[in-house]
Structure 1
Amino acid sequence: MTSTASVPETTLLRLAGWPYFVIAFVARLPFAMMVVGVLTVVVSSRDSLTLGGLTSAAVGVGTACFGPFLGAASDRFGQRIVLSILAVANATMLIVFTLVVYSTAVDALVLAAAFGIGATAPQVSPLSRSRLVTMITERMPQERRARTLSGTMAYESAADETVFVFGPFIVGILASFLAPWAPLVGAAALTLLFVGAFALHPSASYVSIERDAQGRAPSSVAELFRPGLLIVVLGIFGVGIFFGTMLTSLTAFMDVRGEPEQAGLLYGVMGVGSAVLALGVAWLPARFTLRARWITFAGILFGGALLLGTVETTGQMAMVLAIMGIGIGPTLVTQYSLGASRSPLGRSATVMTMLGSAIIVGQSLGAAVTGSLAEQYGVAAALTLPMIAAGIAFVAGIVNWFVRAHPRAHVA
């Protein structure tokens, strides 16, 4: 009698190992703590809400400006060396900023230090996506790649949203029970430990760095500007604007009702639903294509956003946020999946950091414009901006339906 040994099924969990997901999750926390932590310590030490807002924006601008270059460096030299340098550089900048803000240094130096925090921020989320996409496309059976990729993008988006809920919460605890500077010191420690561990994790070697004789990636930079990829960047930029405009206009909405501190809690109605439905995208049938998903879920988001013009009570606002949560999570997952599938060969990390930077730029721009509009023209005017942002994401989805991705732009 002959016996056949069962061959273990190749899964992403088996390829990466469960410690990877723990390390990658915690390694995202420092960035989620930085923006709120900077705001907290500046307001506390310099007694200026305006300067606090500007320093938070400076962190976002620094990340947006340097993110794609750090992604390109990861594609060129590998994630391990780039992330190891950034872990040390960013932890150092967090400590430097803390010392500067408590000194007698001029405000310009405070802003410069905040920009430095953003510029050296390790791009854990996009680099994790890039790393996992490479594992899926190069080491998994063809028949399971599509569903695994969809599930992975869903998990990554849900992880990002969860971190950005817990990050500010941790900042509040540390600032309240220890000192306003504690969140930044804590973020520096987490950066050294967990971003360093993420950089040194064996999965970093799974990222293929294919080069020509001169050491360059096989895909030219020009392939990053093909219509199929640019429309995804535009769509995700619209989602970023929506995040910034929605939270700021919601804060103004609750401020008029004398409960501005409840804005974050109410915003969570959309965030929780968004994260849950983002995870559910992995179980959608393959015949429900990415192009169709983008139009469908962005349409739900846009329809929900239009209802903001009719909202008068907190209860109505909660219902509208719940409706928009149905659309926002799956839209984001779909956009990241399309970005992954259209990444030029050897440029995966660059594309993921481009998409991440588009969200950050959109969020910062949306928050700044909405705050100014709310002060000058009131809440009703501010609530029109999330409608416009959702419209951008929806229209980009329609355009994407007619855009043909160039065959050379695919990873696999």
Structure 2
Amino acid sequence: MFHTRPTSSVLIRSAGLSYFPIAFIARLPFAMMTVGVLTLVVAERGSVTLGGLNSAVAGIGTAIAGPLLGAAADRFGQRRVLVPVGLVNAALLGAFPFVVASTAANATLLALSVLIGASAPQIAPMSRTRLMAIIRRSVRQDRREKVLNGTMAYESAADEMVFIVGPFLVGLLAVAIAPWVAIAGASALTFVFVTAFALHPTGRLHPGTEHSATSQAPARELFRFRLLTVVVGTLGVGIFFGATLTSLTGFLAVDGDGDSAGLLYGVMGIGSAVLALGTAALPERFTLTARWLAFGSLLLAAAIGYAFARSGTGLVVALAVLGCGIGPTLVTLYSLGATLSPAGRSATTMTMLNSAVVVGQAVASAVTGVVVDRLGVTTALAAPALAAALVVASAAAYALSQPRAATQPERDPEPVPA
């Protein structure tokens, strides 16, 4: 069973009280980036297609460069990577509003979006790596598994909250002031808090070598059917995120309210946050497989309601219910990924899941933007339901792949180093 916060005062004392708020805020620019780019381009250039493409290439840039930045941090240390990367990303974000407002060609805009995504600091995996190092160094052997599980759950909850707060801030700033303010704010947050995270004393810690002696499963184990169904499920979640945000932006843009998309998108985050954190209170007999099927089905039902919504009120209600399905589904998928991770391949497994979400969101943003412009917003509103159907289908495939799993307890996930 997961806990939603670190369970050891030793961990908190070792990391320092300032670490957790700094690490949380340092993640915000990443969550604001995709929504902010989409909102600003739609507002300035008047094309949902172009906005979706810019959002998509930013996500693809992150998915491609993210593992490379992680490998560089393992080799040279987090500080040597995060400081220059954070400064470059802050500068690119700061320049983006000026380029969008200029007469620069769309190709130039797309190239800049790729660079913004590629230079996005990978705070979440870096934070996990640091906390893992602290646990191995400071926590007794007999308590490490419990503290580790609680810490990983906290990290997942922090990621979930950031992806709620980020789009909400974008919408709030766009409506209250102007769309460019959100990107400028992300630039400032990157400059201040990513730098603070990089220079925090925990940045000197290294993961250690305890797991180096662990026998590593062959790479082919990563392509087992059950694990691949989980990857497909997270891909569906990513497609759902991209399709929902872009279709919502297109729907609101019809009445000139596209700037408020992030604000309404935050409504989905309310139920998502509450239910995601509430999964810790679910009984163990409510297995991960059953949760995936149950909350995935709720997501699909709400997405069908979203597809038929034709008013702002209908969208708000549908988004609120969607949040109740997507939060627990995403937490369950990451828990299953950790459970099914081959020996010594936890980091690779987590990277596969994270990349699936990012790529799904990026591709869906681009495709849904084209659908909005060519087929209309009514058609685009059905896209999240297709994504939710993929999530449910992969859940069914997972459940049917090993019928005995319904009567066997799912093992505790192995430690995730990054």
Fold similarity call, TM over 0.5: yes
Q: Does 1:166 align with 2:145?
A: no
Structure 2 CA distance for partners of 1:386 and 1:59, relative to 1, 3 Å? same
Letter paired with 2:163: D
Structure 2 CA distance for partners of 1:332 and 1:115, relative to 1, 3 Å? same
* Residue equivalent to 1:273: 271
- RMSD in angstroms over aligned alpha carbons? 4.1
Report the Cα offset of residue 164 of structure 1.
3.0
Structure 2 CA distance for partners of 1:48 and 1:298, relative to 1, 3 Å? closer
Report the Cα offset of residue 365 of structure 1.
1.9
* Residue equivalent to 2:61: 62
Measure, in 2, the Cα distance between the counterparts of 1:397 and 1:19. 39
What is the aligned counterpart of 2:160 among 132, 157, 160?
A: 157
Please tell me whether the aligned partners of residues 158 and 276 of structure 1 are also in contact (alpha carbons under 8 angstroms).
Answer: no
Please tell me whether the aligned partners of residues 273 and 325 of structure 1 are also in contact (alpha carbons under 8 angstroms).
Answer: yes
* Residue equivalent to 1:3: none
Please tell me whether the aligned partners of residues 24 and 162 of structure 2 are also in contact (alpha carbons under 8 angstroms).
Answer: yes
Measure, in 2, the Cα distance between the counterparts of 1:313 and 1:84. 46
Report the Cα offset of residue 328 of structure 1.
0.6
Measure, in 2, the Cα distance between the counterparts of 1:44 and 1:376. 18
What is the aligned counterpart of 1:235 among 233, 236, 239?
A: 233
Report the Cα offset of residue 237 of structure 1.
1.1
Please tell me whether the aligned partners of residues 296 and 326 of structure 2 are also in contact (alpha carbons under 8 angstroms).
Answer: yes
* Residue equivalent to 1:287: 285
Please tell me whether the aligned partners of residues 240 and 363 of structure 1 are also in contact (alpha carbons under 8 angstroms).
Answer: yes
Structure 2 CA distance for partners of 1:60 and 1:94, relative to 1, 3 Å? same
Q: Does 1:302 align with 2:305?
A: no
* Residue equivalent to 1:411: 415
User: SS in structure 2 opposite 1:286?
Assistant: coil
Report the Cα offset of residue 14 of structure 1.
4.0
Structure 2 CA distance for partners of 1:160 and 1:46, relative to 1, 3 Å? closer
Measure, in 2, the Cα distance between the counterparts of 1:10 and 1:382. 48
Measure, in 1, the Cα distance between the counterparts of 2:229 and 2:342. 15
Letter paired with 2:196: A
Aligned 1:88-99 pairs, distance under 5 A: 88-94=87-93
Q: Does 1:112 align with 2:111?
A: yes
Report the Cα offset of residue 131 of structure 1.
4.4
Letter paired with 2:116: I
Measure, in 1, the Cα distance between the counterparts of 2:318 and 2:259. 19
Measure, in 2, the Cα distance between the counterparts of 1:85 and 1:11. 31
Measure, in 1, the Cα distance between the counterparts of 2:132 and 2:397. 25
Measure, in 1, the Cα distance between the counterparts of 2:366 and 2:173. 25
Moved more, 145-154 or 265-274: 145-154
User: SS in structure 2 opposite 1:288?
Assistant: coil
Measure, in 2, the Cα distance between the counterparts of 1:92 and 1:251. 27
Measure, in 2, the Cα distance between the counterparts of 1:255 and 1:99. 22
* Residue equivalent to 1:5: none
Please tell me whether the aligned partners of residues 53 and 369 of structure 2 are also in contact (alpha carbons under 8 angstroms).
Answer: no
Measure, in 1, the Cα distance between the counterparts of 2:344 and 2:82. 18
Moved more, 64-73 or 31-40: 31-40
Aligned 1:12-411 pairs, distance under 5 A: 12-38=11-37, 51-75=50-74, 78-94=77-93, 106-132=105-131, 139=139, 140-143=143-146, 145-146=148-149, 149-170=152-173, 175=178, 180=180, 184=183, 186-204=185-203, 205=205, 207-208=207-208, 222-254=220-252, 263-308=261-306, 310-343=308-341, 348-401=346-399, 402=401, 410-411=414-415
Report the Cα offset of residue 301 of structure 1.
0.9
Structure 2 CA distance for partners of 1:146 and 1:311, relative to 1, 3 Å? same
Moved more, 19-28 or 140-149: 140-149
Moved more, 371-380 or 99-108: 99-108
Structure 2 CA distance for partners of 1:301 and 1:268, relative to 1, 3 Å? same
Letter paired with 1:282: A
Measure, in 2, the Cα distance between the counterparts of 1:75 and 1:319. 45
Report the Cα offset of residue 298 of structure 1.
1.2
Structure 2 CA distance for partners of 1:266 and 1:44, relative to 1, 3 Å? closer
What are the ranges of 5 or more consecutive residues in structure 1 without an aligned counterpart? 1-7
Report the Cα offset of residue 168 of structure 1.
4.6
**Residue-by-residue CA offset, 1:311-352 (whole Å, 9 max, x unaligned):** 454444333322222111111112223334445566555544
User: SS in structure 1 opposite 2:157?
Assistant: helix
What are the ranges of 5 or more consecutive residues in structure 2 without an aligned counterpart? 1-6
User: SS in structure 2 opposite 1:285?
Assistant: coil
Report the Cα offset of residue 195 of structure 1.
1.5
Letter paired with 1:267: Y
**Residue-by-residue CA offset, 1:144-177 (whole Å, 9 max, x unaligned):** 654554454234312332233224534666747x
Aligned residues: 399
Report the TM-score when normalising by structure 2: 0.77
Moved more, 329-338 or 352-361: 352-361
